[in-house]
Amino acid sequence: MNQLQNDRFLKAALREPVDRTPVWIMRQAGRYLPEYRKTRERAGSFMRLCKTPELACEVTLQPLQRYALDAAIIFSDILTIPDAMGLGLEFVEGEGPRFLHPLSHEKDILRLAVPDLSGLSYVYDAIRLVQHELAGKVPLIGFCGSPWTLAAYMVEGQSRTGFPRLLKMLEEAPILLHSLLDILAQAVCAHLNAQIQAGVQAVMIFDTWGGMLETGNYEEFSLYYVKQVTAELLRHYNNRKVPVILFTKGGSRWLEQIARSGCDVIGVDWEISLNEARLRVGNGVALQGNLNPACLREPPEVIREEAARVLASYGRGSGHVFNLGHGITPDVPPDHVKVLVDAVHEFSRAYHVPGDSQ
């Protein structure tokens, strides 16, 4: 693998000194970019875009051609595992992901098994293509949904407010739900490890729906299985430590527990200041976040002010990866992203002194 020209993101994720705060953006390859929309139209469907390595590579690299981002993230979807399990993932315009064969009965769950990773080879092929094209420019991030988040979609069949079928299973058939989550934890770990072996230098676990739970259930049904994943991940590969980012939307209630999950970086949404988050987790983990994506619809001077505010909230030293508190939305003007990226690099220099990691 090529020597990295810019390893600022990896260093910050491991709380090592950097010259300025690295920045990347969740969903940075997406619908806000006109070039993405053209490639998506050429693919014919979202799933064909995901499953065609050459096209997935193309859209992964598109934001890097526009902006001075410090990391790329492979273009894929958090729900590739259940699709490989035979649930039939499709995307309906205006509705989002939907499974043709959701887990409607107990027998559907009992016959599930960890999928053959050959069914996910398109992800690994795309990673290898991206790494060849990046040629060491910046690190590449791989990702997957958390076991709880995957289960939410698999049981419900699609995103539905409150996920009532899933919560009914939690109350009435917790042992069956644990069985499902255990299989998913094994599958998530295998998929992330295969991405690491294909060439990603960091991985991210999206626990998108963990925040819908109350504390006891979050620890039992979500965080417990994330810990199973992190315990079995390849943490060193190609003579380099592989950082693990955990993002739980609405997870600011549990920062202390998340910091003990085995992750290296906690993704933080905008419901809490980075200053408070840093005080609560101490020096054990890095933080990623946490600009509200809605800010990117504001005028450039507001974006610069908000970037400065987020940087000041974290303060001096390494251990901060600048990002949004959730994914970028399709209505963001592309030029506004450049304003943000450039502002982060400009303003963050003052917070980094050579040799200062605190």
DSSP-derived letter for residue 241 is E
Residue 210 is labelled as binding a ligand? no
Q: Which two tokens stand for residue 21?
A: 């705060």
Active-site residue, selected from the candidate residues 32, 36, 124, 153 = 153
Residue 111 is labelled as binding a ligand? no
Count of alpha carbons within 13 angstroms of residue 312, beta-carbon side? 6
Does the active-site annotation cover 235?
no
Residue 12 is labelled as binding a ligand? no
Distances (CA, A) of 317 to 5, 7, 94, 344, 350: 22, 16, 42, 14, 10
Active-site residue, selected from the candidate residues 19, 31, 253, 342 = 31
- Type of residue numbered 316: R
Nearest-angstrom CA–CA distance, 358 and 93:
46
Active-site residue, selected from the candidate residues 8, 15, 20, 40 = 40
Nearest-angstrom CA–CA distance, 70 and 123:
21
Nearest-angstrom CA–CA distance, 304 and 5:
27
Does the active-site annotation cover 67?
no
Coil vs helix vs strand at 65: helix
Does the active-site annotation cover 8?
no
Residue 28 is labelled as binding a ligand? yes
Residue 326 is labelled as binding a ligand? yes
8 A C-beta contact, residue 97 and residue 77:
yes
Classify residue 96 by burial, with Cβ atoms within 10 Å: 0-12, 13-18, 19+: exposed
Does the active-site annotation cover 70?
no
Distances (CA, A) of 26 to 35, 38, 69, 122: 17, 20, 12, 21
* Element holding 141 (H helix, E strand): strand 140-145
Does the active-site annotation cover 15?
no
Active-site residue, selected from the candidate residues 8, 15, 20, 27 = 27
Residue 77 is labelled as binding a ligand? yes
Count of alpha carbons within 13 angstroms of residue 331, beta-carbon side? 5
8 A C-beta contact, residue 145 and residue 208:
yes
Active-site residue, selected from the candidate residues 7, 70, 77, 207 = 77
Positions at the binding site = 27-31, 77, 153, 208, 326
Catalytic residues: 27, 31, 40, 77, 153
Binding site, annotated residues for substrate: 27-31, 77, 153, 208, 326
